[in-house]
Structure 1
Amino acid sequence: MRSPVPTDGRRAFLLLAAAGLASACAPSAAPPHERAQAPTRTPAAPTASAPPVPPVTAPAGPTREDVVARYAGVAPAAFGLDVPGVVNRLPTRERVVALTFDACGGARGSGYDAALIDTLRASGTPATLFLNQRWILAHPDRAAELAADPLFELANHGTTHLPLSVRGAAAYGIPGTSDPGAVFDEISGNRRALTELTGAPPRFFRSGTAHYDDVAVRIAGDIGETVVNFDVNGDAGATFGPRQVTAALCTATPGSIVIGHLNQPGGGTAAGVAAALPRLAADGFRFARLSEHR
């Protein structure tokens, strides 16, 4: 993974952004090999060629039928933002922050915040982007562009943007997946889309609404994805204004995971992030993709 090295453009970005700030955020506590072949000197009888070596592939995950059979009748013990198995912080005491941005899709969530992505690129700030399948289908070229940018890694934000539950538990009035098979479908539909897009299966999952029950989290792990939420709500579902976004990001501590949104260009996320980045950098923080610490 590359660690961004400041270019002249990035230095100018940081200096300009810092010039407009009253003060930095308050510091927080640290916690082939090829064998040479001898030339053939005499004709030899033809020999059968060696059989081709099959490509190495990742082991197949469980099928839908496997999941349904394994979790039939298993009752969840908890439902919410923070249940067993959900990762909310990076396992580090270094002054590092993981910025994550969701693209939710759907009739009211399929925008593209170009200003936010431009800010991350101009400042060399890495981030993990959780894309929903509906957003990918609405922006296939943009999704391919983000997938090709080494500054970012793509993660799974579900197929239809539902809370993840084996009993249909709802969040914010949105009914969740109804049973283990539906949990499998919500994860695996977009898992296939992201694998085709990037060439590798996604490692991280965040559901629509970021709500889960503990059994659904176990199913995600069986499929091969770690459920990641956050400890800093950066834009409150893209409802915050710029100053609120900046203030929220400035509450980050070593190992924080920040959630924001890249699908609401009319919100305050881009401007708020642009103001917060130099402040956090001045306080000694650096930024990382999730995979750098998971």
Structure 2
Amino acid sequence: MIPSVRRLTALCAIGAALAPLAACGTPEEPRTARPAAHAPASPAPTRPPTLAPGPAGLTPVFTRAPRTADKAVALTFDADMTADQGARAAAGEHFDNPGLIAALRALKVPATVFMTGRWAEEYPDQARSLGRDPRFEIANHSYSHYAFTDDCYGLPTVPADKMRADVERAYKAFRNAGVPNAMPYFRFPGGCYDRQALRAVSGMGVTAVQWDVVSGDAFATDADAVARQVLEGVQPGSVVVMHCTRSAAPTTERAVRAIVPELRRQGYRFVKVSELIGAASGRR
């Protein structure tokens, strides 16, 4: 055997034992190395659907999806806590509602939670749990829950030049609590807004989200009355506003337990706000 071939044969034997994929050949029949296969690129993350800006670039406002044959409805819950309520929380007032969230999970109902930054600071574990649960999406309800207009249910008012910073501060509070992907949706405290407020938060890429069905759960004591009001108001594409605060809306969990099975019996399916906005903007 030619010495060079003998050495090549020995090397191949060793290589075969150590690395079965090694390419060993003979001087007469060399093998050509195959190009490395490339893993398919991961798709770029898709931005949640939003509405196009309104006239003069004003923040768009979404109230409900178009009335179609698709009997979809979005239950939304405001997790309210104003910037000055820390002392009340420290004294034992509950601005959260774990029982309601547990009911939504048990009933397998997706929902959108409009959360204030102050609420996320007070209940970071709950905010993080909601933000990481694919059944829910977290949207912005301001940091302070102070009004963006005058004369809004007696709420303190955010000065016009501080409105944008208030919204940004809420998103920062969500990140600090561990909420990974808060949605680009904003609900004005009290639902109160005007042209100045829309202009103040324009350019942030958010869609303002209102509603077409008022549940009446705020400070209600009759869960059956809340359920009736929702059931009488819901239509395909509706957005229902409810609350996720035990102290201010103590009957909401019981109302939800009545609302959900009845709407399902009527053929409705529950979706998050993002799906309704996607339908309205032509994205699914």
Deviation at 1:293, TM superposition (A): 2.1
Instruction: Tell me the distance in 2 between the aligned counterparts of 1:151 and 1:123.
Output: 11
> Bigger radius of gyration, 1 or 2?
2
Match of 2:35 in 1: 36
Change in Cα spacing, 1:200 to 1:147, as seen in structure 2 (3 Å) is closer
The TM-score normalised by the length of structure 1 is 0.67
1:147 to 123, 131, 140: 131
Instruction: Tell me the distance in 1 between the aligned counterparts of 2:36 and 2:99.
Output: 58
The sequence identity of aligned pairs, in percent, is 31
Task: Give the alignment of 1:160-199 within 5 angstroms.
Answer: 160-165=144-149, 169-179=150-160, 181-196=161-176, 197-199=178-180
**Structure 2 unaligned runs (5+)?**
1-33, 38-43, 47-55, 278-284
Deviates more, 1:88-97 or 1:150-159: 88-97
Work out the number of aligned pairs and report it: 217
Deviation at 1:176, TM superposition (A): 2.4
Deviation at 1:195, TM superposition (A): 4.2
Change in Cα spacing, 1:240 to 1:257, as seen in structure 2 (3 Å) is farther
Partners of 2:59 and 2:207 within 8 A in 1: no
Alignment RMSD: 2.8
Deviates more, 1:231-240 or 1:284-293: 231-240
Task: Give the alignment of 1:215-226 within 5 angstroms.
Answer: 215-226=196-207
Deviation at 1:171, TM superposition (A): 0.7
**Structure 1 unaligned runs (5+)?**
1-34, 39-55, 59-73, 75-82
Instruction: Tell me the distance in 1 between the aligned counterparts of 2:145 and 2:188.
Output: 6
1:101 to 66, 77, 80: 77
Deviation at 1:215, TM superposition (A): 2.8
Partners of 1:104 and 1:110 within 8 A in 2: no
Deviates more, 1:148-157 or 1:106-115: 106-115
Give CA-to-partner distance per residue, 1:108-138, whole Å, 9 cap, x none: 6752212211111111000000111111111
Match of 1:227 in 2: 208
Hey, which bits of structure 1, 4+ residues long, moved more than 6 A?
none
Give CA-to-partner distance per residue, 1:224-267, whole Å, 9 cap, x none: 21111111111342425201111121021111100111112661
Give CA-to-partner distance per residue, 1:209-228, whole Å, 9 cap, x none: 11011232243341121111
2:188 to 195, 200, 207: 207
Deviation at 1:84, TM superposition (A): 8.5
Q: Secondary structure at the match of 1:124?
A: coil
Question: Is residue 90 from structure 1 mapped to residue 65 from structure 2 by the alignment?
Answer: yes
Match of 1:255 in 2: 237
Deviation at 1:86, TM superposition (A): 2.4
Change in Cα spacing, 1:240 to 1:91, as seen in structure 2 (3 Å) is farther
Amino acid at match of 1:275: A
The TM-score normalised by the length of structure 2 is 0.69
Match of 2:267 in 1: 284
Question: Is residue 274 from structure 1 mapped to residue 260 from structure 2 by the alignment?
Answer: no
Deviates more, 1:251-260 or 1:107-116: 107-116
Amino acid at match of 2:111: A
Instruction: Tell me the distance in 2 between the aligned counterparts of 1:214 and 1:236.
Output: 28
